[in-house]
């Protein structure tokens, strides 16, 4: 079985300032631009996927009529302030 992971190429145009900051980060960390770009994309994709999942779950709860009661909201406001 081949355990080598297949990779795809992605070309991205960066604003000059972003490219300069990326270059500084590569020098500071000893990592390649590709490594840092993949790491950043993976973090972004994970965060977006989590957010989409949570929004869909909230919409499904709303569709079922599962809303916070007035007492629930008052308790939240009391705990965290107005």
Q: Is residue 80 included in any domain, yes or no? A: yes
Any residues with CB less than 8 A from the CB of 23 and at least 6 apart, and which?
Answer: 33
Convert the pLDDT of each residue in 22-81 to its tens digit. 999 999 999 999 999 999 999 999 999 999 999 999 999 999 999 889 999 999 999 998
Return the closest-CA partner of residue 41 out of 2, 8, 17. Answer: 8
| DSSP assignments along 31-70, one per residue | --HHHHHHHHHHHHHHHHHHHHHHHHHHHHHHHTT----H
Range of the domain at 64: 49-82
Q: Is residue 65 included in any domain, yes or no? A: yes
Q: Is the pTM of this model over 0.85?
A: no
Q: Is residue 17 included in any domain, yes or no? A: no
Q: Is 82 helix (H, G, I), strand (E, B) or coil?
A: coil
- What is the domain count for the chain? 1
By the 8 A CB rule, do 12 and 37 touch? yes
């Amino acid at each position: 079985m081949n355990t080598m992971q297949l990779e795809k190429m992605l070309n991205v145009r960066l604003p000059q300032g972003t490219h300069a900051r990326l270059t500084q980060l590569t020098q500071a960390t000893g990592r390649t631009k590709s490594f840092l770009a993949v790491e950043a994309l993976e973090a972004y994709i994970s965060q977006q996927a989590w957010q989409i999942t949570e929004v869909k779950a909230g919409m499904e709860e709303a569709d079922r009529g599962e809303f916070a009661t007035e007492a629930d909201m008052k308790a939240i406001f009391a705990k965290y302030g107005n």
